[in-house]
Each structure stands twice: as C-alpha cells, then as structure tokens.
Amino acid sequence: MFDSLQDQLQEVFDDLRGKGRLTEDDIRVAMRRVRMALLEADVSYKVVKGFVTKASARCMEADVLESLTPAQNVVKVVLEELTSLLGDTDARINLKQGKHPNVIMLVGLQGSGKTTAAAKLAYLLKGEGHNPVLVACDVYRPAAADQLQTLGGEIGVRVYRGEGTDPVKIAKEGLQYAIDNLCDVAIIDTAGRLHVDEEMMSEAESIKAATDPDEVLMVVDAMTGQDVVNVVETFSERVDFDGVIMSKMDGDARGGGALSIRESTGKPIKFISSGEKPSSLEVFHPDRMARRILGMGDVVSLIESAVKVQQEEEEAEATERLRRMDLNLNDFLDMNRQIRKMGGVGKLISALPGGDKMMSQGQVDEHALDKIEIIINSMTKQEREKPDIINGSRRARIAAGAGVTVTAVNQLLKQYGETRKQVKKMMAAYAEEDARPGRKGRPKKGGKKGGKKGGSRGRRMGMPSVGGLSMSDIKKIQDLMG
C-alpha cells in the first residue's frame, strides 16, 4: 500500500534537496508532480485539488523560500498537510466506563472483511482488559456464523449465534447474553451485500435502533480505491457511523481510498488492518501514516510492538542470564523469535526511515530469521548452551543437518559472538548506571523495588524495552544479525 506514491514523492523531494535554494517556479513544478502522484494513487480529485492548493500557498511563503533549508521546510509543510488530510489527531473508540455492555456495531459491504475485523477488534479489546462477546447477525452469507465462531474460538472470545433468521432479534438477544455473562463489550457483526441496497440499509438502521450502539464502525476494503467514498457517504447518511476500519492495508492497491475518506466524508479512520493474524488490527495514527507515506518510517509503532512483545512474553530465566552477561545460542534464538513476533525482519526494517525503499529494492533478506533458527535447531542442547565447544567437526555436522554450508554456520557463530560482546557492553553500562548514587533501591514503575517489569534498564533512557533490552539495543543487535 502507498508504495508507488511513496516512491514518487521521495523523487520530488530528492530533486528539491538537490537544488539548494528554491524559487517559486521550483515549488510550482514540485506541487504539480505531487498532484499527479496523488491522482495516480487514486485519491479523489477534489481532495487532491484542496491539498495541493493549501500546500502550495504555504510553501510560497517567505519563511519557507528564504530559509537556509527550504527543501526541508517544503517536506515539513507537505507532512503537516498530509497529516491534516488523514485526520490531524488519533480517533479512539468511545467506550463508557461502568456500562455493561458497551455496544459496537460493524457495518459495510460484503467482502470488506467485517467478520474478520470483528474478531480482530475483540482480540484487541481483550488485550486491553475487556471481556468482549461477538454477536453473529449475518444470517444471509453461508457459514458466516460458523466463521465468527471459529475466529472467536481461536482468540478465546465468546460468540452468540442465536436461532432463526431475524438479525434484529439475534442482536437484542446477544446484548442480553452479554449482560448474563458479565461481558462489558458486545461487538455486533452485521450482514453485507455486494453493493449498497435498500434492504441492507433498512436492516442496519433497525439493528442500530434496537441496540443503541455506543460506536458504529464501517469496515472498508482499502483495495477499493476512491470509489469507496461514494459507499461511505451513503452509509454515513443512513446509519451515521462514527468511524472507519480500513482493512487489507497490506494489499497492493494504490491507497487513494484511505487518503480520501476523512476529507470527503468527515468520518475518521479509527483502525487499520493488514494481514490475517488477530493481532494485525492497529489504532490508526494519522501522523505516523503521513510519515510512512513520505518515507520517514514509523519507529514509534515499532517501539510499541516491542513493548507488546515484552508484556506478552518476558522470560525470567533468559533475562537473568543477560544480567549475568551469559548470552548463549538459546538467548540468541529467543531474540530472533521476538523480532518475528514484532512482524519479522521485513516489518522491522520497513518501520525505519527509508526501510520501505530498501525492501522494494530487495536489499533485505526477509528469511534471515528462518535460516538462523534452522541452523541453531540443528545443534545439540549442549552446543546451544555452550557454543564455545563447537569445533570444526561439529560445524560440519551442524551444516549437514541444516542443509547449509559450513560458511553459513561460521557466519552465524560470528554474528552470535558479536552480539554477545554488544550485550556485555550494554549490561556493563546498565550496571554502571545502577551503581550511581540515588539509583539503588529507587522505586520502580508500579511502586515496587527492583521489580522485573518495572526495571530501570532502557526505561531510564526514555526507551521501552524488550526482554530487558531497550529498543535502541534491539536495533544494534538486529544490525549484527545482518
């Protein structure tokens, strides 16, 4: 998504940087190229016209043209206008504290991904401490309720299916089920159609009237392009939804729909979804998406993914070994698996500035983690715990077992050795900082002294940590892993 647009915009900005001082003609030419890039990305013409007009006017101002770094200021203006186009601020769902249940209703066309989005939203809310229930109100699509039941079972969330073919009745019964089972959120999955029709709209209106939802979210397929604007406007008039879930953001569409919705309808994008995993639904941050489109990366989201991995799985034994500066190949393998849980090498690299371009040019080996895991799994338990015993004959046996060359095994062991040295330096630095006056015994997060999750490492430096390592540490280790 946005790959072509990102490449074209970066070319525009690279050309501006090469000029040094800019004239009004330079700005006009650049904005003409920006306009064409947006139109080719299938952004609505009206949206493009308004965007370019605002950005051009700001770029022509004296404080931009006469500054020492005019090209950087142009990029800053475009970034700010693009962020404004996408929504300025994050739009959150409105759950009322103390209400049981809060009701979230999903609407949209058939094939937009409503059922999958419902399950992903339930997974997200469950991870935030809620107790959701999924209500299957799509009584038309074959096996729709079965699909929701399967997805709910995979994530450990209750599903109410009801009986009969009256979706309004099932929705009301689903709310009572939520009350009876102490569920604080009920997510209603409604039926869709291949296109907007009166029957679908009337049914959605009836379900909304019967359940009085706290939040109505429309699920939109990002692959639709700017045509989605007409669909969203129709739903907005009839159902008056509160926000959008943009699904299939990992597709190869041009991205015009995502850039057109807010400006055209006034409805914010609240979530985006990419991939099939339950954890792939993310809160939409306009500023981060704008930076990503302009090739500036999204390091903040990467850090948040790292924190999530830490909260879900932080092994005490591995952490203790790191504190003792005794990193072995099991720990090395754990680091790789943590990176995989964050989305793998591809997601890690693409979140960094210029990363998407590196990915598109084939400069990143997305299977590097697989190769490392295969080689380490070909070792004995003793070899993983004490890598120093791996001599020439052992390396040959490991290579044969993993189906790789001895050179590949040597390279992995070299990477491990460099990583081990880096970790020792980090741990020594942390120990030195802990020894500073006023550090020992200092209350940690949550009011506990010396607690594992409240530990000072990484956090005192203003960075979240994973398994005891700060995000900057993980980036260093990733570099060493190639």
Mean pLDDT to the nearest integer, 21-30: 88
- Contacts of 405 by beta carbon, 8 Å cutoff, 6+ apart: 399
Please tell me the predicted confidence (pLDDT) of residue 443: 40
pLDDT tens track for 347-368 = 555 555 555 565 565 554 556 6
Mean pLDDT to the nearest integer, 241-261: 77
Q: Are 186 and 102 in contact (CB under 8 A)?
A: yes
Please tell me the predicted confidence (pLDDT) of residue 76: 87
The DSSP 8-state label assigned to residue 212 in this structure reads: -
Check pLDDT > 60 for residue 213.
yes
Domains by residue range for the chain, with CATH: 3-86 (1.20.120.140), 102-296 (3.40.50.300), 300-480 (1.10.260.30)
pLDDT tens track for 141-196 = 888 999 999 999 999 999 999 888 899 999 999 999 999 999 999 999 998 877 77
- Confidence band (pLDDT; 50, 70, 90) for 45? confident
Please tell me the predicted confidence (pLDDT) of residue 157: 96
Check pLDDT > 50 for residue 203.
yes
Please tell me the predicted confidence (pLDDT) of residue 276: 82
Decide which of 360 and 271 is more confident.
271
Residue-by-residue DSSP string for 132-162: EEEEE---SSTTHHHHHHHHHHHHT-EEE--
Q: Which residues of 87-124 are buried (b: 16+ CB within 10 A; e: fewer)?
A: beeebebebeeeeebbbbbbbbbbbbbbbbbbbbbbbb
- Contacts of 109 by beta carbon, 8 Å cutoff, 6+ apart: 192, 193, 194, 195, 196, 221, 231
- Confidence band (pLDDT; 50, 70, 90) for 105? very high
Q: Report CA 91 to chain centroid distance, whole Å.
A: 15
User: How many other β-carbons are positioned within 10 Å of the β-carbon of residue 127?
Assistant: 14
Please tell me the predicted confidence (pLDDT) of residue 320: 53
Check pLDDT > 80 for residue 136.
yes
CA 334 – CA 330 distance, rounded (Å): 6
Please tell me the predicted confidence (pLDDT) of residue 251: 63
Q: Tokens 């469950």 sit at which residue? A: 126
Highest mean pLDDT, choosing among 61-65, 209-213, 265-269: 209-213
The DSSP 8-state label assigned to residue 387 in this structure reads: G
Stated pTM of the model: 0.61
Token couple for 349: 């690299």
Q: In this structure, are strands 102-107 and 158-160 parallel, antiparallel, or unpaired? A: unpaired
Helices (H) and strands (E) in the chain, counts: 22, 10
- Among residues 295, 292, 296, 373, the alpha carbon closest in space to that of 337 is found at 373
pLDDT tens track for 310-349 = 555 444 454 554 555 567 888 777 777 776 665 555 555 5
Burial class (CB within 10 angstroms; exposed 0-12, middle 13-18, buried 19+) of 168:
middle
Mean pLDDT to the nearest integer, 7-16: 85
